[in-house]
Structure 1
């Protein structure tokens, strides 16, 4: 539909300062000086860091990455802007405009995250100088830079997928170069999803890194050095550990193989290229991340008495788990809405649940949960008074907060309020949605149609019941001063049981998934 309705625009006219010829000359000289200084200065920094072995440290590694981004950023637009200063109403091709815009967006977003990483590097160097090279190892630095590029790349890709497709012949950009806001103003198609995502992405790219930088500067004086934590788990019950190991191993294998199979089938089989299976693929991806975030470590720790985890490994495990669980809460609500539209408005289903809407819903849910996770990270305690024993299988937020001897009232209040917002509204939405679905299904005259509708929705309801039930008991019930054995088992239920149940429920009870599986098996055998 998008290709059919797209108004052909092959190039754009860049106005810049065309109306002010004298100002253009001054502007040209200013930009030329800036360009040469930036290019030569950043190039010199990169060369010195590579050539001089004394500069082969994490600090200069990040500085080299920053200089590389600055060279790429300034080379992306400034040379063309300099040339355009001598052209009346200069033009740029449609695809060059897109590449210039999205490369710039990627580089600026990456630089925001990279500056926060540089602040963290200085924080570790000042607060934990003896452990600096251990914490900021080369592997860890490379992972940080890769992650700082990966997240902005995802945001840039989603922005590109949500770009407007119809310009009604408008091709005059009131700017020196192609810039996202100016580009969107030309569109005559609906750009609400693009603007909403751009605002949410801007908040997630600007506020958290800036807050992180401020927190690292403020916390540098008060941080008590804790390099690792001891995880108790079931260390006091050796026999229970053996049972726990076999249960978790089975859950882990079923979860990885089952969710991996669902993702493979959803991608491979054209019959499963529908919004329902797109969301199921996203859910399976989240379950894979959640399972691999903690279970491999727990399985290894079952054979170690009082196992340890590094301070930053603990933070990483805790906040990745928090992000994934929060995102899954919203995705389950989106899946309920998808079923509501499919059953109550089947004729308009693909129009309402278009691919652009589906991608926007997932992107917004991930962005909101990312902001929540970053806010939680910024409010984490900074002083532990040497306490480093976590009474749990893995790093979990409530257990982590109980170790702090600094004031955690703001962190706990934020956790309680955010838990209410992340659990009650999505769960309430799901209950109301399935109430409406139930009424709609009862009005279906065909017995086969009613059976198919109930089969699809019952699978989703089982997953929702297990997932929300365990999390609500965990986060909405009154908390004691210490973690009980019941709390540990409940956290295992949503961390291991739910990811295992999802593929079993959706594959064994779903004819489309089973059909896609046997079709794939038959194709492989015939080959």
Structure 2
């Protein structure tokens, strides 16, 4: 009922990549390839971790949740992205647009807090190894994941309800999916109250987890520097630098959109930043966090060897 009485508009028009129509074919091929690669990488990661009992630890529990989040996060918007590249301007109902914005914020904010929980897990594992198994109990791990989803749902509801219950004076969204910043351009009157709301919520949902991650890694690096073994130091630094690279990309591009005044970011830059945190990060996460991990690679190798052995059995029976 709320969505049905918002204004005279029953649907929106997504302009997509209208300023680069000559690149639509290339973008279609590249983004479709990245999407398939992302689905495969995250699915393989989750399946490998769940199939190997030695990987049933807090760190890999969080990695499984991250893989599932990344699949959902990208899949919410990807059909719309592909549609805009195929046909240009796309019409989308107001209800579908509201649902897309809610779920994108839901999964995106949940990932922000999940990455913070993962840094907390590494903090206790490296800085307090003797107390790690007691501190990071299965109950605490489940609570951290549940809290991530609760915060994501809360932020999604706040932004979706306040945006779509405001009077709208336009229906053309200069973006490739329903994201809150381009929708602010359609609000009637002054958008300052809504911009302030977006900034305040972003400080809580983006900046707070990011600062927790930075603090955790400062403590981790400090602990690494006191390690006696140079080999262990190098390995730990390699892992930390990879994690921080992904974190910087995700939080940096997200913060550049949600923590800056809307008037200072043009539509083309906003689209580029949106592609960075919505398409690239879900692909990089399983590669950096999981597939470069020695234990995950060993578990994946065992699965592939088992599949190869099973596939040989029918031929052996026939012969």
Considering the TM-score relative to the shorter chain, is it more than 0.5? Answer: yes
- Which position in structure 1 is the counterpart of 2:142? 359
Separation (CA, whole Å) in 1 of partners of 2:100 and 2:7: 21
1:60-109 CA-partner distances (Å, limit 9, x unpaired): xxxxxxxxxxxxxxxxxxxxxxxxxxxxxxxxxxxxxxxxxxxxxxxxxx
- Which position in structure 2 is the counterpart of 1:504? 287
Change (3 A) 1:452 1:236: closer
1:258-302 CA-partner distances (Å, limit 9, x unpaired): 011111111111121111111111111111011101112211321
Runs of 4+ in structure 1 over 6 Å off:
none
8 Å CA contact 2:42, 2:71 repeated in 1: yes
- Shift in Å, 1:410: 3.2
- Shift in Å, 1:439: 1.1
- Which position in structure 1 is the counterpart of 2:241? 458
Pair 1:383 & 2:167 matched: yes
- Give SS of 1:260's match: helix
- Shift in Å, 1:375: 1.9
- Give SS of 1:323's match: helix
- Which position in structure 2 is the counterpart of 1:444? 227
- Shift in Å, 1:369: 2.4
Pair 1:270 & 2:270 matched: no
- Shift in Å, 1:240: 1.6
Separation (CA, whole Å) in 1 of partners of 2:242 and 2:304: 24
Separation (CA, whole Å) in 2 of partners of 1:485 and 1:236: 8
- Which position in structure 2 is the counterpart of 1:20? none
1:429-462 CA-partner distances (Å, limit 9, x unpaired): 1111111111111111123322332233223212
Aligned positions of 1:186-335 closer than 5 A: 220=5, 223-335=6-118
8 Å CA contact 1:241, 1:302 repeated in 2: yes
- Which position in structure 2 is the counterpart of 1:79? none
Aligned positions of 1:41-52 closer than 5 A: none
- Shift in Å, 1:351: 0.7
> Unaligned stretches of 5+ in structure 1?
1-119, 128-219
Give the alignment partner of residue 418 of structure 1, picking from 201, 208, 221. 201
- Shift in Å, 1:406: 5.4
Separation (CA, whole Å) in 1 of partners of 2:269 and 2:53: 44
- Give SS of 2:86's match: coil
- Give SS of 1:302's match: helix
1:288-320 CA-partner distances (Å, limit 9, x unpaired): 011101112211321103111111111111111
Separation (CA, whole Å) in 1 of partners of 2:200 and 2:304: 48
Determine which structure has more spread, i.e. the larger CA radius of gyration.
Answer: 1
Separation (CA, whole Å) in 2 of partners of 1:269 and 1:428: 33
Separation (CA, whole Å) in 1 of partners of 2:160 and 2:109: 14
Query: Under a length normalisation based on structure 1, what TM-score does the superposition of the two structures give?
Result: 0.56
- Which position in structure 1 is the counterpart of 2:129? 346
> Unaligned stretches of 5+ in structure 2?
311-319
Pair 1:513 & 2:302 matched: no
Separation (CA, whole Å) in 2 of partners of 1:500 and 1:452: 23
More helix by share: 2
Query: Under a length normalisation based on structure 2, what TM-score does the superposition of the two structures give?
Result: 0.91
Separation (CA, whole Å) in 1 of partners of 2:19 and 2:121: 46
8 Å CA contact 1:262, 1:284 repeated in 2: yes
1:186-220 CA-partner distances (Å, limit 9, x unpaired): xxxxxxxxxxxxxxxxxxxxxxxxxxxxxxxxxx5
Separation (CA, whole Å) in 2 of partners of 1:236 and 1:460: 34
The alignment's C-alpha RMSD in Å is 1.8
| Greater RCO (Cα-Cα under 8 Å, separation 6 or more) | 2
